[in-house]
Chain A
Amino acid sequence: MNARLLAAATGSWLVLWLPPIRHTLESDMVLHMAVQVPLLIMLGVLVAVVARDREPRWLADADWLGIPGIVAVVLGTSFWMLPRALDQAVSDPWADLIKFLSLPLLVGVPLGLSWRRMPPLGRAFIWANFIPKLGAIGGLYLGAPTRLCAYYRLDQQELAGWTLIAIAVALGMTWFFAAFVGWTPSCAKQSPRRSGGFLIAAVGGN
């Protein structure tokens, strides 16, 4: 079972790397930022879920309250939101390979491992940081007078800005709605360990 999931993750990674698929996803700013990057992170999360039992003891101990792990996630995602980094990934296959390795391994895996170690307040705080950051970057893309990425057109950039804002608003509303009706997935309440429910559990804010 675990081996199969791992194989599926690796297989999906290779599919995403296939030049036609890779170039299609990178030909458009929205696809690049809102589809390819999240998919790569998800693959890492999947790996973390599968390999969780093999996590070395020292790492689990050192990752107190999930803080170092989540810091890695925040810094890693910030890096790949830089227009310059996106440009390099599009123009240079080596940079793209770094992206393909760092997003799953340095962002996805820490996310999968650390999230369940975080206390509810910490999770809520991360959401409360992520949502405005996404919105702010969207706003900056809209307001930039010129193209930020040499490889993307202005209209793509504008669309990407609106997409980020829309995602931020949607996330914020989902979060609020979930907290309002008190919707917490049962898997999150009992044992986030067994399922991949931590991603959804996060939305419940507790």
Chain B
Amino acid sequence: MTIAATAGRTAINPRAAVLAYLAVSGIVLLLMMLLGLTMRLAQAQWIDVSPDFFYVVMTMHGAGMVGIAGLCSAAVMWHFVRRHVPVSTAVFLTNLVFFLIGAVLILGAGFIGGFGAAWTFLFPLPAHSGGLWSVNAAAAYLVGLIFIGVGFLLLHLDIARGILSVYGGLGAALGVKQAFGLAHGEEGPPPAVTASTMALIANILGILVGAAVLIISLVNLYVPSFTFNALAAKNLIYYFGHTFINVTIYMAVIAVYEILPIYAHRAWKTNWAFYLAWVLSTVFVLTVYTHHLLMDFAMPTWTLVAGQVISWLSGLPVLLVTAFGTLTVVYRSGLRWNPAAALVFLGVAGWAIGVIPAIADGTIAVNSVMHNTQWVPGHFHTYLLLGMVAMVLGFMTYLTNPQSRYGVAWLGYWLYLLGGVVFVLAFLSAGSASVPRRYAVHVAQWLPYDRIGSIGAACAIAGVLILIVRFFVGMRTAASAQDPSG
């Protein structure tokens, strides 16, 4: 069965489905950024926000961003992997519907039920509200998470099925043979397939682990005499959550592999090093979660050391081959820069730069000092806001490409880039000045960081707003159009 035939069978236009994902993502992304700005403004003491409300906003910002990051990067992955393997548009849309149902349940639990155990639903917190929220609110929250998990599970399983039907095995799709020089000249899988394979391996295993904890939490909620080792539950939850957010960048990076070559008129060259990097990162990303537990002295020492080494290395292989590949594609290619190409290029840069403080944070000596400072939001905002989000914005710009509006897109690009840099630098320098993270109320000598950060954030949001409005304007024609070819 050819891919065209599969696509022809389904009544739903796959492009329209991708655009629907991006439209939802664009709106939620903006709203969540406004929540982020609210926090910064509150810390800067430019607006008055009660500490209680600050933490509600923080929970919503964290949970919403993690969820939407998964959703929009899944759209990038699906759009490109569909060129190589047969996948189902119906399943893709089912995921979107489940995501929205789950989001409604979670929001209901939060705003109507008053559930506030933070997005990590740390066991056994849901059951111990001290009367703040009801069992049903906690259950709605957990069921919402189950909906989202089931949606993503179906999507990943369907892509796995498609990949297996073309490549036979996940190992082959990852390029294991090519990685170890056993391919004898046989051409390796396209980068989009390799990256998708890694993403789905990590996410499926992560979701299975998460599902087990969710079931236990639900049973515990209704039959409290069933308990579970809290540390084990915490480990499992971090495994699930950290894998999920980690994988978004590996899905989004497919945009770089597919979009840059089009504008540079040069193929993305894959070699053994490329495949080896993905194989290594697959192994690493599955174990990296331990670095979240560095603050847990209850863990045996060897796991701390292993976690440190692994977290130090995990994304590095893929990052290196991607950065190197990006430079070779771009270097002297005569690429005529446009906002789409510039955004995905920025994504690679943001990711690379964001990983440097992450590595510093992953080493134990720094960790005990830095882990609870704004250094941490500094590093993850660098590679999420200026890395992952940049790749997705690039993808959105690429899909809705009318050249006539490049001018306004460039304006959005520069506002977003400059504002974003100022915003993350404010976090990082505050972190090195030991400003703690997750503080609603800041003392006077921290205010300069907060104020500069707020200005940067406002700028960045204005830029993103321009890019997203431009996306919505171009969306109508994009549904029926072809992908641009350069």
Contacts and interface: CB of A to CB of B under 8 A. Distances in A.
Give yes or no for direct A-B contact (beta carbon below 8 Å). yes
Contact of B169 (A120, A121, A132, A183): A183
A182 B197 CA distance: 13
Contacts of A185: none
Contact of A182 (B154, B167, B201, B209): B167
Given A121-B91, A205-B161, A182 B168 contact: yes
A124 B153 CA distance: 10
A139 B91 CA distance: 31
B170 interface: yes
Contacts of A181: 169, 171
Contacts of B160: 124, 179, 205
Contacts of A144: 225-227
B161 A206 contact: yes
Q: Is the interface of B mostly helix, strand, loop or mixed?
A: helix
Contact of B208 (A132, A139, A182): A132
B49 to A, nearest CB: 39
A100 B157 CA distance: 35
Interface stretch (B137-145, B210-218, B416-424, B452-460): B210-218
B182 to A, nearest CB: 13
A124 B157 contact: yes
Interface string A177-206: 001111110000000000000000000111
A17 interface: no
A176 interface: yes
A154 to B, nearest CB: 14
Nearest to A206: B164
Contacts of B433: none
A206 B165 contact: yes
Contact of A179 (B154, B169, B209, B229): B169
Nearest to B219: A140
A177 B362 CA distance: 30
Contacts of A31: none
A182 B153 contact: no
Q: Is the interface of A mostly helix, strand, loop or mixed?
A: helix
A81 to B, nearest CB: 12
Contacts of B171: 180-182
A125 B161 CA distance: 11
Nearest to B210: A132
Given A132-B212, A135-B212, A143-B226, A176 B205 contact: yes
A183 B168 CA distance: 8
Interface in B147-172: 153-154, 157-158, 160-161, 164-165, 167-172
Nearest to B200: A179
A176 B235 CA distance: 21
Contacts of A145: 225, 227
B228 interface: yes
Contacts of B158: 121
B204 interface: yes
Interface in A115-170: 120-121, 124-125, 128-129, 131-133, 135-136, 139-140, 142-146, 168
Contacts of B168: 182
Given A121-B91, A183-B169, A128 B212 contact: no
A83 B335 CA distance: 67
A70 to B, nearest CB: 15
B228 A143 contact: yes
A131 B169 CA distance: 21
Contacts of A139: 212, 216, 228, 232
A182 B212 contact: no
A172 B208 contact: yes
Kindly name the residue among A145, A181, A184, A204 whose own CB sees the greatest number of chain B CB atoms within 10 A.
A181
A131 B205 CA distance: 11
B320 to A, nearest CB: 24
A143 B153 contact: no
Contacts of A135: 212
Kindly name the residue among A120, A133, A143 whose own CB sees the greatest number of chain B CB atoms within 10 A.
A143
Interface in B41-75: none
Contacts of A120: 161
Given A182-B171, A205-B164, A121 B157 contact: yes
A124 B216 contact: no
Contacts of A206: 161, 164-165
Kindly name the residue among B91, B153, B164 whose own CB sees the greatest number of chain A CB atoms within 10 A.
B164
B216 A140 contact: yes
B239 to A, nearest CB: 13
B212 A136 contact: yes
B215 A133 contact: yes
Interface of B: 88, 91, 153-154, 157-158, 160-161, 164-165, 167-172, 201, 204-205, 207-209, 211-213, 215-216, 219, 225-229, 232
Given A128-B153, A133-B212, A142-B229, 14 more contacts: A120-B161, A124-B160, A136-B212, A136-B216, A139-B216, A139-B232, A143-B216, A179-B169, A179-B170, A180-B170, A182-B164, A206-B161, A206-B164, A206-B165
- Rank and list the top 6 A-B pairs by shortest CB-CB distance, nearest first: A182-B169, A182-B168, A136-B215, A132-B211, A132-B212, A143-B228
